[in-house]
Amino acid sequence: MSRVWFAQELETVATYWRIVRGDGVALGFTTHDRDLWFDGLNHMAAPGMMPAAIRRTSGLDDDSAEITGAISHDAISAFDLQSGRFEGARVVVGVVDWETMEHQPLYRGAIGTVSQEMQGFVAELESSKAELARDPIPRTSPTCRAQFCDRECALSAARFSHEATLLAHNLDSNLIHLTTSLDLGLLLGGTLRWIDGPYAGLSMTITGRSGSFLMLDHPLDLALTSGLRVALREGCDHTLATCGERFGNAANFRGEPFLPGNDLVVRYGVAG
């Protein structure tokens, strides 16, 4: 039988808040005045974290949660917030008994957008029910709807992943030069994930090339040094020709390239 919380006038109960970012970093916080270790994670004391409201319903409407102060903890830097490390991070909010470490989650969701205000940063939370509002039915499209190397694409990500090191960069043009013998054209539309340096863990999209340099979609405004390691993933333009000729994967193409479009309806008839 699960515990009934707040059944007595005085209980040894605190609130906890857990964040798991997309790059695998997990952070835990608690309103207690000392760190609490449970579920294999140290929840750092953050007495300034105040639970304002957690609303749970039995309907399909999105549950809401609001906790102030946690996002200003020393473990969450302004750069990490501005660079998007926390967007889409999974969030669990619950209660914990600081003597027995018995705990129960009250809210599960993800961080949506992170905005900056005068007093700091504010994160919007989306509960797990938000998935119910998304339309699961695919819409027709001339290009492939699958993500490159995902379950529907069925190609091996390891086959198209490469490691390289940084040789040079141009901050003004947002260009980098890497040590790789790979045809740079294969990387267009792909991703670059930093293994070392100030951007470690962040992924950026390769949007173009200029000679032996690659252009990234994210502004490089921090000092970089030669020798930093990066992980590269080749790109795909999601066309049937590329899927069949380059990857030999036309059987898993998720699109309708030969389906007539709306322009066919408005064409004028031509005699003969």
CATH number at residue 248: 2.40.10.170
pTM for the model stands at 0.70
Residue 269 lies in a domain: no
Q: 57-86, pLDDT tens digit by residue?
A: 555 555 555 555 556 667 777 777 777 788
Last residue of a domain, one of 82, 98, 132: 132
Q: 222-240, pLDDT tens digit by residue?
A: 888 999 999 999 999 999 9
Tokens describing residue 81: 């917030």
Same domain? For 177 and 216 the reply is: yes
Residue 159 has pLDDT above 70, yes or no: yes
Residue 77 lies in a domain: yes
Residue pair 149/191 in contact by the 8 Å Cβ criterion:
no
| pLDDT at residue 68, as a whole number | 55
Same domain? For 21 and 98 the reply is: yes
- Residue of higher predicted confidence among 268 and 21: 21
Same domain? For 229 and 128 the reply is: no
Same domain? For 19 and 94 the reply is: yes
Q: 167-183, pLDDT tens digit by residue?
A: 999 888 889 999 998 99
Residue pair 71/85 in contact by the 8 Å Cβ criterion:
no
CB count in 10 Å sphere of residue 268: 4
Residue 226 lies in a domain: yes
Same domain? For 123 and 24 the reply is: yes
Closest CA to 143 of 15, 19, 256: 256
Q: 123-141, pLDDT tens digit by residue?
A: 677 766 666 667 778 888 8
Residue 40 lies in a domain: yes
Question: What gap in Å lies between CA 153 and CA 236, rounded to an integer?
Answer: 11
Residue pair 55/64 in contact by the 8 Å Cβ criterion:
yes
Same domain? For 163 and 231 the reply is: yes
Residue 143 lies in a domain: no
Same domain? For 122 and 170 the reply is: no
What residue numbers bound the domain in which 180 lies?
158-252
Residue 148 lies in a domain: no
Same domain? For 102 and 173 the reply is: no
Same domain? For 19 and 125 the reply is: yes
Closest CA to 42 of 86, 96, 4, 5: 96
Same domain? For 111 and 166 the reply is: no
Please report the DSSP string for 90-124 in residue order: EEEEEEEETTT--EEEEEEEEEEEEEEETTEEEEE
Residue 266 lies in a domain: no
Residue 193 lies in a domain: yes
Domain count, the chain: 2
